[in-house]
Chains A and B, each alone.
Chain A
């Protein structure tokens, strides 16, 4: 049974990922008084990219060609490991926070290699910026995960989500509040969103994520784009499941509960997408040299969250 649920969760994230991006774009357009493209547009974008020819520069090596597979593989692993739809399933024991962190980092690192491999200026510029951002946000990532582990007494994301789902919301939300805020900071920075990166930029000089994938085309580009959408969806659902741990599927897995969990998944995804769109519509992208202030703030909030967690388990 758990295998079925795991497969269901895996494909649910994969199926929902383009919609997440579509919803964010749609809501952003509405915020600007524009009608916006259909939510289903990203699905069609993927299909049209898959049908397109690939142009690969002869200045690239084998690294360039394996990058899409590693990045996409890392995203698939995240879709399976991160508790977005159900907790207590087969992958539970594998969702150790360091393992998940490492899997995510593997994808990021290879994306950076892909950006550098062709030797083009923009790819290297994007890679250099990505590494700067990644190394600055890293402390906040692990401190906030550690504080969640402290709070729940589990080193796996599955255990953490299970603990949140099983606890009374009013009792858990206060000690976890700062950590959750820090996780939102991390979510935005890790997924190339405002105020760190502009996912819609057409300006080659300001790009981070887009600069690294600039040389990719056709199916490879589809894989990289899809991977980034999956990562965003999985991480967004993780945060949503901690902030609002209702309706997540727990054992025993009954049909009624599964249907409720599906509805909860959709609602949480919609709310999460709205929050991202709201943030991106109301703030300005930060000047690159002020990024360390954002990252420091994320770390300080995460440390505060850790302190609260330690105090709350002590009393």
Chain B
């Protein structure tokens, strides 16, 4: 479904940003979703006389954004969540950030605000200073509970036994069987969206790179694409290819890590973790020698990418050849182990219907049969020239997510080699002047789609930067895929999704 046919169906003329009356927003959104354009992102902005809610849909030929204006004295609109599940967290988020009320939302609790944040705190409003000291409040946050004979509540976290970030999980179990699972996140909100306001894109860039430690290239690229599109900056062909190179290296590293972690720490097939982490370390050392940072900070820059020399090309080739060869051996042992596959198969099944309803992104979505991949759906950098084959599986279980990673790894290695072979000559960075404008930037990070919307003011400073991280969309999937499984299998489900606490809590 193209943008034009979508706007025709809605019955309102417009290109990619369409203003609709607030009372019709939910109806028009339903039309889009039913026509096969999934809801990808919702964000709000503050304007002179009120607020604007933006809803982004993915059409065949681009993103369609429906906008609705809300007056300052009555910032309400009918909730989209009642018919579009994917909107559920965004609407709660917009309430915490701006005080916008989605009327009829089925679960109107706070989202990013904790118990100690006073009522009526809306930090993304312009009159709220980023360094405001808030008094301690105690606003209740009731969690869902199941009652009945033999039913237990198992609280896990927010402090865990490993070196991981905080997240609280509430299991309702009967014996070992999980009945419901609810997560409570946002313990360490960083406030990136607020912090970057008023900064130039260059000043904001380090904040963006630190949104999630293991997807530096992903977030940096989404932000750079948005800023460049907003000010009409064109980058060189070499830079575009280099952006693919760094993105695919990041994807390859993450997939090797995840497969090792799922087999090694998820099921106790320890050799996979040892080998996987060893390979990840080899890659991180390569990045240290290439860009000076083990997690690729500085690989993507505004107006281009970090350049590589002829010698670097050989270095990268040598490392990925080694990794591909070793990974093949590890995977042959993994697929050959009945015990391992038995743990993977039928564990943590996410149905296609649920994946679509929740707006799942990335590997979990594709393992359930969702075909969306921003690299082909909305090509950026040099992906159109290079071509990407989207990997999907049908099972929706841990095994399917493992296989998607395996096959995507192969595709990443192909893309990396292709870039190294065909890297165009020229400058890797364009000196750019960022000026007033606004635009969306979307990339497929290794975890899934990242969509940023950036608006620059007359001085080229950031007025609003809305960021959509794939972990934010995928955390609530646990409520779908965990019930029916047993408690000891939850860590495996968790590793098969490998979501970022920090990315959600941006």
Q: Is chain B found bound to chain A in the same assembly?
A: yes
**Given A34-B274, A283-B339, A287-B342 in contact, is the A203-B265 Cβ separation under 8 Å?**
yes
Q: Is B268 an interface residue (CB 8 A)?
A: yes
Q: Is A11 an interface residue (CB 8 A)?
A: no
**Given A32-B271, A284-B340 in contact, is the A202-B162 Cβ separation under 8 Å?**
yes
- 28 residue pairs A–B, Cβ–Cβ below 8 Å: A32-B273, A32-B274, A33-B271, A33-B275, A34-B274, A128-B175, A195-B339, A198-B268, A201-B268, A202-B162, A203-B161, A204-B160, A205-B491, A206-B491, A280-B270, A283-B269, A283-B337, A284-B267, A284-B339, A284-B342, A285-B268, A286-B339, A287-B342, A287-B347, A287-B488, A289-B176, A289-B486, A290-B342
Residues in chain A within 8 A of chain B (CB atoms): 28, 31-34, 121, 125, 128-129, 194-195, 198, 200-206, 280-281, 283-290
- Determine if B489 and A287 form an interchain contact, defined as CB atoms under 8 angstroms apart: yes
- Determine if B274 and A287 form an interchain contact, defined as CB atoms under 8 angstroms apart: no
A33 to B279, CA, bound (A): 12
- Determine if A31 and B342 form an interchain contact, defined as CB atoms under 8 angstroms apart: no
Provide the B336-360 mask, 1 if CB < 8 A to any CB of A, else 0: 0101101100010000000000000
Residues in chain B within 8 A of chain A (CB atoms): 152, 154-156, 160-162, 175-176, 265, 267-271, 273-275, 278, 337, 339-340, 342-343, 347, 486-491
Specify which chain A residues have a CB less than 8 angstroms from the CB of B265 in the assembled complex. Answer: 202-203
Specify which chain B residues have a CB less than 8 angstroms from the CB of A284 in the assembled complex. Answer: 267-269, 337, 339-340, 342-343
Specify which chain B residues have a CB less than 8 angstroms from the CB of A281 in the assembled complex. Answer: 270-271
- Determine if B270 and A32 form an interchain contact, defined as CB atoms under 8 angstroms apart: yes
- Determine if A205 and B487 form an interchain contact, defined as CB atoms under 8 angstroms apart: yes
Specify which chain A residues have a CB less than 8 angstroms from the CB of B275 in the assembled complex. Answer: 32-33
- Determine if B488 and A206 form an interchain contact, defined as CB atoms under 8 angstroms apart: yes
A128 to B268, CA, bound (A): 21
**Given A205-B488, A288-B488 in contact, is the A31-B343 Cβ separation under 8 Å?**
no
Of all chain B residues, the one with the shortest Cβ separation from A280 is B270
Tell me the number of A-to-B contacts counted with CB atoms below 8 Å. 73
Known pairs A129-B176, A284-B337, A287-B347 / 16 extra A-B pairs, C-beta < 8 Å: A28-B270, A33-B275, A34-B274, A121-B154, A121-B155, A125-B154, A195-B339, A200-B270, A202-B265, A205-B487, A205-B488, A206-B488, A284-B342, A287-B343, A288-B489, A290-B342
Specify which chain B residues have a CB less than 8 angstroms from the CB of A286 in the assembled complex. Answer: 339
Instruction: Tell me, rounded to whole Å, the shortest Cβ–Cβ distance linking A44 to chain B.
Output: 22
Specify which chain B residues have a CB less than 8 angstroms from the CB of A289 in the assembled complex. Answer: 176, 486
Give chain A's interface secondary structure class: loop
Specify which chain B residues have a CB less than 8 angstroms from the CB of A34 in the assembled complex. Answer: 274
A203 to B175, CA, bound (A): 18
A34 to B160, CA, bound (A): 26
Instruction: Tell me, rounded to whole Å, the shortest Cβ–Cβ distance linking B240 to chain A.
Output: 39
Q: Lowest 8 CB-CB distances: which A-B pairs, in order?
A: A32-B274, A284-B339, A285-B268, A206-B488, A203-B491, A198-B268, A288-B488, A284-B269
A286 to B338, CA, bound (A): 11
A42 to B393, CA, bound (A): 45
Q: Which of A204, A205, A285 contacts B267 (CB 8 A)?
A: A285
Instruction: Tell me, rounded to whole Å, the shortest Cβ–Cβ distance linking B33 to chain A.
Output: 36
**Given A202-B162, A289-B176 in contact, is the A194-B268 Cβ separation under 8 Å?**
yes
Specify which chain B residues have a CB less than 8 angstroms from the CB of A28 in the assembled complex. Answer: 270
Specify which chain B residues have a CB less than 8 angstroms from the CB of A287 in the assembled complex. Answer: 342-343, 347, 486, 488-489
A60 to B24, CA, bound (A): 59
Specify which chain A residues have a CB less than 8 angstroms from the CB of B175 in the assembled complex. Answer: 128
Specify which chain A residues have a CB less than 8 angstroms from the CB of B343 in the assembled complex. Answer: 284-285, 287
A42 to B471, CA, bound (A): 40
Q: Pick from A33, A201, A203, A280 the residue with the most CB of B within 10 Å.
A: A203
- Determine if B268 and A205 form an interchain contact, defined as CB atoms under 8 angstroms apart: no
**Given A204-B161, A284-B268 in contact, is the A125-B487 Cβ separation under 8 Å?**
yes
Of all chain B residues, the one with the shortest Cβ separation from A28 is B270
Specify which chain A residues have a CB less than 8 angstroms from the CB of B273 in the assembled complex. Answer: 32
Instruction: Tell me, rounded to whole Å, the shortest Cβ–Cβ distance linking B273 to chain A.
Output: 8
Specify which chain B residues have a CB less than 8 angstroms from the CB of A285 in the assembled complex. Answer: 267-268, 343
Of all chain B residues, the one with the shortest Cβ separation from A198 is B268
Q: Pick from A31, A34, A195 the residue with the most CB of B within 10 Å.
A: A34
Of all chain A residues, the one with the shortest Cβ separation from B173 is A125
Specify which chain A residues have a CB less than 8 angstroms from the CB of B342 in the assembled complex. Answer: 284, 287, 290
Specify which chain B residues have a CB less than 8 angstroms from the CB of A194 in the assembled complex. Answer: 268
Of all chain A residues, the one with the shortest Cβ separation from B340 is A284
Instruction: Tell me, rounded to whole Å, the shortest Cβ–Cβ distance linking A191 to chain B.
Output: 15
Instruction: Tell me, rounded to whole Å, the shortest Cβ–Cβ distance linking B83 to chain A.
Output: 35
Specify which chain A residues have a CB less than 8 angstroms from the CB of B487 in the assembled complex. Answer: 125, 205
Q: Which of B156, B270, B340 contacts A205 (CB 8 A)?
A: B156
A11 to B340, CA, bound (A): 40
Of all chain A residues, the one with the shortest Cβ separation from B177 is A289
A180 to B175, CA, bound (A): 33
Instruction: Tell me, rounded to whole Å, the shortest Cβ–Cβ distance linking A120 to chain B.
Output: 10
Of all chain A residues, the one with the shortest Cβ separation from B337 is A284
Specify which chain A residues have a CB less than 8 angstroms from the CB of B176 in the assembled complex. Answer: 129, 288-289
Q: Which of B152, B156, B340, B347 contacts A204 (CB 8 A)?
A: B156
- Determine if B274 and A33 form an interchain contact, defined as CB atoms under 8 angstroms apart: yes
Specify which chain A residues have a CB less than 8 angstroms from the CB of B337 in the assembled complex. Answer: 283-284
Specify which chain A residues have a CB less than 8 angstroms from the CB of B267 in the assembled complex. Answer: 284-285
Specify which chain B residues have a CB less than 8 angstroms from the CB of A204 in the assembled complex. Answer: 156, 160-161
